[in-house]
């Protein structure tokens, strides 16, 4: 699954276009490498997202195309 789509499905970032912009600006890292919006992620990957002065680190636990709001946090684990 593409990283921009994953960030939207897991509700870490509200919109896919915003997730794409974050990737394009170098604010998203996959396994300590700068991510492009089209980069594929898999279970076990570690993702780091910079929100201004804060940084969020997660590990991907599950990949799903359709996710209910209540189940979105089950897709990742904070590190």
Each residue's pLDDT tens digit in the chain (79 positions)?
999 999 999 999 999 999 999 999 999 999 999 999 999 999 999 999 998 899 999 999 999 999 999 999 999 999 9
Q: Strand 33-34's sheet: what is its strand order?
A: 33-34, 28-30, 46-51, 54-60, 76-78
Return phi, psi of residue 69, to 5°: -55, -40
For residue 78, the model assigns a pLDDT of 95
């Amino acid at each position: 699954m593409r990283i921009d789509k994953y960030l939207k499905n897991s509700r870490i970032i509200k919109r896919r276009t915003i997730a794409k912009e974050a990737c394009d600006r170098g604010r998203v890292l996959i396994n300590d490498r700068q991510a492009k919006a089209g980069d594929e992620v898999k279970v076990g990957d570690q993702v780091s997202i910079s929100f201004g002065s804060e940084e969020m680190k997660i590990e991907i636990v599950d990949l799903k195309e359709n996710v209910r709001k209540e189940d979105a946090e089950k897709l990742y684990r904070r590190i």
